[in-house]
Structure 1
Amino acid sequence: MTTSLSPEDTVTATAALGTLIRGHRFRIGLTQQELADLSTISVRAIRDLEKGKAQRPRTDTVRLIADALRLGPRARTALEEASRRGHRGGAGARHFAAERPAPPVPLHPLIERDAEATVLAEELRSGAERLITVVGLSGVGKTRLALEAAARLHDAGFPVLWHTAPGAVADALPACDDRSAALTADCALLLYGEGEADDLVAEVSGALGDRPVLLVLDGVDAALLDFPRLTRLLRELPGLRVLVTADAPWNVPGERLFLLSPLEAPDPTAGVRPDAPAARFLLSRLRHVRPDVVPDERVLTDIAWVSHRLDGHPLALSAAASWLTVCDLATLRGIVESDPAPLLDHLADGRSGSRLRERVAHTLAALPEGHRRLIAALCDADDQEFVLDDVVRLTGMPLPYCGRAVRDLLVSGVIRSSTDTGRSAFRVLGVVRAVAGDLTATSTSASA
């Protein structure tokens, strides 16, 4: 991971003297009067410096303030440089704050996730939740949901710092702002265990002022993040909100777990529902590939069955729709009902298909051995749905263990809730069944 500016240069480029002093003062919990007493400088001088009225203080004044704030070498250097820049520094910081860094621009419209986006954006905007981790199986739409929530907060006045983890698929157009990119990279580096929290607090305060800020960490491995460092940032930057998208939860205090399930795809046996979210999503993808197809009763029935068999998983539905360039919808439905595994390869973008297989296989491999055995047993069962009693019967374990196991599988995204029968039932996702079958076949072949 590289940045266009070092942490020291970023502070120099974006932070005015007054905002640096205020940020450091807030960090250690001093009032203006207390800082004045410790530095032997008048409280009026402190107030004028923080408001930007005194742009070029004496060198001794800066030294006394740095001593009172107990600054380290790097933070002290940044403060001295800001005092030398004078008016230029203040203007740069105000200009940077006024621009409000924006999130990336999504490449595809949001379909059937408005309710989730509304809840997510409101919880972050209000400050009811300051750390939210969106989890779900790869390809379920976590990044697209985060983009929508970030866009809504940006419209509400939030600067948005967006970090995409190395190796994650960036299905969006990045914002062209080197200054915000450098600041975002510094935040990410700190949470990965590099850099100094003192400098970053001052950097964010200097660049963005006192307004609320959204930091998005997209596609990260939460196990690699440093929670104590995040705790300090949340404590010293009261306006900071953090939104994480990951395959697994962070499992830290204060984390709001937001489980993103596949789109609703009801069983067509009880009647075709063209308005079902998964059916509407697949129809939108079908129109991209085959705009000539008329959504008559037969087409809508086939769409409903394909959506149901693929459990409303957005990336699986998109991959299946790409096959309509080489086959008709009725043939596609037949393939899905017999063996959906080949359809996981997106014809227009082979990387997405292979990534889906790899990520699902990775998720299955990361499950505890007992959970993997349970998934295998559920895949072998004749009934597509199962209830908690079935888990008790298959595992021979007590109810509390089985309840936790089902919750773990829900959080990992390999199963989903089912309301087809009106009871508390669950289904193993079709994409999981396909990949689990591939893994079983490979294992059997290797052992032979």
Structure 2
Amino acid sequence: MDVGQSVQAVRTAAGFGELLRVRRERIGLTQQCLADHATLSVRAIRDMESGRVRRPRNETVRLLADALRLEGRSRTDFEEAARRHPLGDEPVAEPAAPPVARGAIVGREMEAEVLADAFAVHGDRLVSLVGLGGVGKSRLALEVARRLHLAARWSVRWVACGGGSGGPGMPGMPGGSLPWRGPVEDLVREIGDRPALLVLDGADGGVDAGQLDGLFRHCPGLRVLITAREARPLPGGQVIPLAPLPVPAPELDAEPEALAQVGAVRLLLSHLSRLRPGYTLERSEAPAVAELCRHLDGLPGALERAAGWALVQSTAQLVARLAAVPLTLAAPPVVFGARGDVRDEVEPAIRNLTDRQRSLLDVLVDEPGDWSGEDAVVRSGWAPQACLETVYELLSRGLIRSVPARDGLRFTVLNLCRRLVREESGLRFAPAGDAPLLAVAG
């Protein structure tokens, strides 16, 4: 049997992954060397050779063929093997792709990796990503879908639920229809037992657990990612709160290089550089940039709006404007991103609190600096279990955030949340000290 017949026999028996390994070892490359030559990750090479990824995307195959220096019939056979079903000779259709993002994701790289691994490595089937409006849930879900589609060749079905009270209208099995064109039977038939990700974006009205189970039964390779403002636990599902981006500590204000590495600042600078080509963060402007990020709590939607106004106002002018009217940062007349006002991102979460949650929040908004769960118990006077449960609920709603600490978990209330609660409650504040920190006005 000649080399071509040998390679063809390997392809037929074991699929593309085995063919890739044979080709790599034939020219003496390690997985790391091949990854470097092909500008891919070594994990991608490992997943393809192990069979975890059986149908790599066309661009990946081209990069591999170039790195392996394949030409003529060898290259044709290699590319054809990547397009064929591992159990037969019929070419398979390209998996459905997610919507295309308008730009690179900034500041959420770690979260994207963790979520993608939750589905592809750890086998989670149902994950709910929850948090404030404008915190970046949809953008993160889009990045996770993109990674699973490109690296693992999963099909992606994206459903824009639109929030509100109506919910996504999940179907029964069989019959019914999801909120996209075509009956659900077509979706089940198309996915079959192959890996696929269903994203229900903005499912604020909830999802019917029984109907979702029907989809899982009919599609064993299906994974579901839900984004919503409020956690609605589902059987077998994981709820992941998404906090705003990290904001800079005041001691970084005079250090532009260190400041530019903080998540919220990175995102703001990425928007500014697109709107104002050639923009660089100068030492003189660094304190205003840092203060702007802190004022807006690192909320991606609010930072995007602020960057839009940077065409007509400096960052220092924006900070002064927000100091005068803290909750009225609307979108510019022409903007590439979020609409509405910064109040719209926080106020609904406060309005939907239970009496118990609002009662604890009213106590915590005036807790100076950061605090621990034990501090919240002491300040509220509540039983520890009830207090810590409520802290957890406020954290899942995005109204408080965890902060770095050496002595355990500590938290702080979002600046925008403080301002809204104080505005709504009509409170006046005494100077810090031994006296009570808040008192009812009037």
Question: Which residue is equivalent to 1:257?
Answer: 239
Please state how far the C-alpha of 1:426 moved relative to its aligned partner.
Answer: 1.3
Question: Which residue is equivalent to 1:430?
Answer: 415
Equivalent residue of 1:391, what SS?
Answer: helix
- Could you list the runs of 5+ residues in structure 1 that have no partner in the other structure? 1-93, 169-186, 443-447
Q: 1:214 aligns with which of 184, 197, 204?
A: 197
Within 1, Cα distance between the matches of 2:371 and 2:234? 31
Please state how far the C-alpha of 1:142 moved relative to its aligned partner.
Answer: 0.5
Q: 1:241 aligns with which of 209, 223, 227?
A: 223
Alignment-mate amino acid for residue 393 of structure 2:
D
Question: Which residue is equivalent to 2:144?
Answer: 149
Report whether the alignment pairs 1:190 with 2:176.
no
Report whether the alignment pairs 1:360 with 2:351.
no
CA contact (8 A) 1:97 1:207 kept: no
Question: Which residue is equivalent to 1:204?
Answer: 187
Equivalent residue of 1:190, what SS?
Answer: coil
Equivalent residue of 1:98, what SS?
Answer: coil
Deviations 1:17-37 (A, max 9, x none): xxxxxxxxxxxxxxxxxxxxx
Within 2, Cα distance between the matches of 1:305 and 1:256? 35
Q: CA RMSD in A?
A: 3.4
Report whether the alignment pairs 1:369 with 2:351.
no
Equivalent residue of 1:153, what SS?
Answer: helix
Report whether the alignment pairs 1:285 with 2:271.
yes
Equivalent residue of 1:342, what SS?
Answer: coil
Within 2, Cα distance between the matches of 1:202 and 1:348? 42
Report whether the alignment pairs 1:106 with 2:101.
yes
Within 2, Cα distance between the matches of 1:426 and 1:114? 23
Identify if the C-alpha distance between structure 1 residues 235 and 193 changes in structure 2 by more than 3 Å, giving closer, same or farther. closer
Please state how far the C-alpha of 1:210 moved relative to its aligned partner.
Answer: 3.0
Report whether the alignment pairs 1:399 with 2:395.
no
Within 2, Cα distance between the matches of 1:265 and 1:379? 18
Identify if the C-alpha distance between structure 1 residues 96 and 130 changes in structure 2 by more than 3 Å, giving closer, same or farther. farther
Q: 1:119 aligns with which of 108, 114, 120?
A: 114
Within 2, Cα distance between the matches of 1:114 and 1:397? 38
Question: Which residue is equivalent to 1:166?
Answer: 162
Equivalent residue of 1:106, what SS?
Answer: coil
CA contact (8 A) 2:192 2:219 kept: no
Please state how far the C-alpha of 1:420 moved relative to its aligned partner.
Answer: 6.4
Q: How many matched pairs?
A: 330
Please state how far the C-alpha of 1:303 moved relative to its aligned partner.
Answer: 1.6
Identify if the C-alpha distance between structure 1 residues 395 and 96 changes in structure 2 by more than 3 Å, giving closer, same or farther. farther
CA contact (8 A) 2:175 2:183 kept: no
Q: Percent same amino acid at aligned positions? A: 34
Question: Which residue is equivalent to 2:251?
Answer: 269
Identify if the C-alpha distance between structure 1 residues 157 and 260 changes in structure 2 by more than 3 Å, giving closer, same or farther. same
Identify if the C-alpha distance between structure 1 residues 436 and 344 changes in structure 2 by more than 3 Å, giving closer, same or farther. farther
TM-score where L is the length of structure 2? 0.66
Equivalent residue of 1:297, what SS?
Answer: coil
Within 1, Cα distance between the matches of 2:104 and 2:131? 20
CA contact (8 A) 1:163 1:188 kept: no
Within 2, Cα distance between the matches of 1:141 and 1:331? 26
Alignment-mate amino acid for residue 415 of structure 1:
I
Report whether the alignment pairs 1:413 with 2:395.
no
Please state how far the C-alpha of 1:310 moved relative to its aligned partner.
Answer: 2.1
Q: 2:312 aligns with which of 318, 326, 330?
A: 326
Identify if the C-alpha distance between structure 1 residues 227 and 126 changes in structure 2 by more than 3 Å, giving closer, same or farther. same
Question: Which residue is equivalent to 1:310?
Answer: 296
CA contact (8 A) 2:163 2:203 kept: no
Equivalent residue of 1:341, what SS?
Answer: coil
Alignment-mate amino acid for residue 327 of structure 2:
A
Equivalent residue of 2:157, what SS?
Answer: strand
Identify if the C-alpha distance between structure 1 residues 407 and 215 changes in structure 2 by more than 3 Å, giving closer, same or farther. same
CA contact (8 A) 2:295 2:416 kept: no
Please state how far the C-alpha of 1:340 moved relative to its aligned partner.
Answer: 2.7
Question: Which residue is equivalent to 2:365?
Answer: 379
TM-score where L is the length of structure 1? 0.65
CA contact (8 A) 1:316 1:431 kept: no
CA contact (8 A) 2:330 2:339 kept: yes
CA contact (8 A) 2:328 2:341 kept: no
Please state how far the C-alpha of 1:380 moved relative to its aligned partner.
Answer: 3.7
Q: 2:209 aligns with which of 219, 222, 227?
A: 227
Please state how far the C-alpha of 1:252 moved relative to its aligned partner.
Answer: 1.8
CA contact (8 A) 1:374 1:395 kept: yes
Equivalent residue of 2:234, what SS?
Answer: coil
Higher relative contact order (CA 8 A, sep 6+): 1
Identify if the C-alpha distance between structure 1 residues 131 and 95 changes in structure 2 by more than 3 Å, giving closer, same or farther. farther
Please state how far the C-alpha of 1:386 moved relative to its aligned partner.
Answer: 2.8
